[in-house]
Amino acid sequence: YINTIGDAAPWFVGLLAVCALAAMQSTGAAYMSTAGGMLTRDLYKKYLNPKASHATQKLFGRLGVAFIVFSALLVATYSRDALVLLGGLAVAFGFQMWVPLMSVCYFPFFTRQGVTLGMAAGIVAVMLTESIGVKLFGDVLPWGRWPWTMHSAFWGMFFNLGTALIVSAMTQNASDRAHRQKYHDFLAQHAGLPASKQGLKPVAWAITLAWLFFGIGPGAVIGNDIFGSPNDYSTWTFGIPSIWAWQILFWALGVGMMWFLAYKMEMSTIPDKEIVALTDDIGDTQRA
């Protein structure tokens, strides 16, 4: 079908290619920016040069990003097998960051030990349920890749969240909890939803969960034939395969959902109150 579109409307294929390149660029930019920040803030400034100035941190971050991009290009050029393997692991590994993200934004119950050990357990679980685990251990792992046809990201999150909850329950400390609560109170004060919109929370949850289930979750199977039989062109309601129409529909609904969450639920708006930083450890911010 895509070949037919290419012959009938080559301009449309070009538009799709531009969209794909834009998506890859935006995704890669976010990855590179995050990697540079992690190298600078979590490694260089914390352990190697605590008194690093703002300019020095930016320089180190840029060098780190350049090294990562160069390494990625080398892998993509000379090792296709490693590229596929790392690509599969990247999604599952990235999904494990949901636990520390939840702990930072919403749940002060989680402790540093719980989140750290949970992440470690999640990464190990991902590797043991991915193709790399099959290659390393072979028949020693009886379940193979993606046990019960469930993605390795799920198994990683299962052990990640379970470990984080158990360890956090065992390592609670009053002073540490008060320290974490200080930041959560700060977020609630400056980024919390006003009282006039608290009633929208159940609506937001319902819309988001429904979209996740039907748009990218198990419910997407409905789209296989709701707009026509996949193998019978004459039944296609919109002249394209049913699953395509379903995904386009939920893409449009997803745009509406993101607008609702970003603006109506104020998840991407400027706080009304003036923000006074709790601490400033960025470094020297004075310009020469």
d(CA 263, CA 118): 33
Residue 1 is predicted with a pLDDT of: 60
d(CA 198, CA 196): 6
With a pLDDT cut of 70, the percent of the chain lying above it is 95
d(CA 67, CA 45): 18
Q: What is the CA radius of gyration of the chain?
A: 23
Task: Give the model confidence (pLDDT) of 112-167 as tens digits.
Answer: 999 999 999 999 999 999 888 888 887 788 888 888 888 899 999 999 999 999 99
Please give the single-letter amino acid code of residue 156.
G
**Upper half-sphere CA count for residue 192 (Cβ side, 13 Å):** 13
pLDDT at 285 over 70: no
* Contact by Cβ (8 Å): 35, 70: no
pTM assigned to the model: 0.73
Task: Give the model confidence (pLDDT) of 35-46 as tens digits.
Answer: 888 889 888 988
* Contact by Cβ (8 Å): 157, 95: yes
Tell me the residue length of the chain.
Answer: 288
129 three-class SS: coil
Task: Give the model confidence (pLDDT) of 59-115 as tens digits.
Answer: 999 999 999 889 888 888 887 777 777 777 888 998 999 999 999 988 999 999 999
Residue 252 is predicted with a pLDDT of: 96
Domain ranges across the chain? 21-78, 80-192, 197-265
* Contact by Cβ (8 Å): 278, 182: yes
